[in-house]
Amino acid sequence: MAKLLEAQTVLKERYTVVSPIGQGGMGAVYRAEDMLLPGRICAVKEIAPSADMSTDLVTQLQEQFRREAEVLARLDHPNLPKVSDYFTQDGREYLIMDFVPGHDLRTLIDDARIAQHPLSEKQVLDWVHQLCNALAYMHAQEPPILHRDIKPSNIKLTPSGFIKLVDFGLVKLLTNDESRTVTVIQGRGTAAYTPLEQYGGDDAHTGIHSDIYALGATLYHLLTGKPPATARERFLNPDALIPPREINSQIAPHIERIIIAALALHPNERPQTIEMFREALERPGFIFPITPPNLDAQEWQTALQANLPLIIALVTLIVLAILITPL
CB-hemisphere CA count at 13 Å for 136? 14
- Whether residue 149 lies in the annotated active site: yes
Catalytic residue among 34, 90, 126, 149: 149
Long-range contacts at 43-46 (CB < 8 A, ≥ 24 apart): 43/81, 43/96, 43/97, 43/98, 43/99, 43/100, 44/11, 44/15, 44/17, 44/94, 44/95, 44/96, 45/94, 45/95, 45/96, 45/97, 45/168, 45/169, 46/2, 46/5, 46/92, 46/93, 46/94, 46/95
Active-site residue set: 149
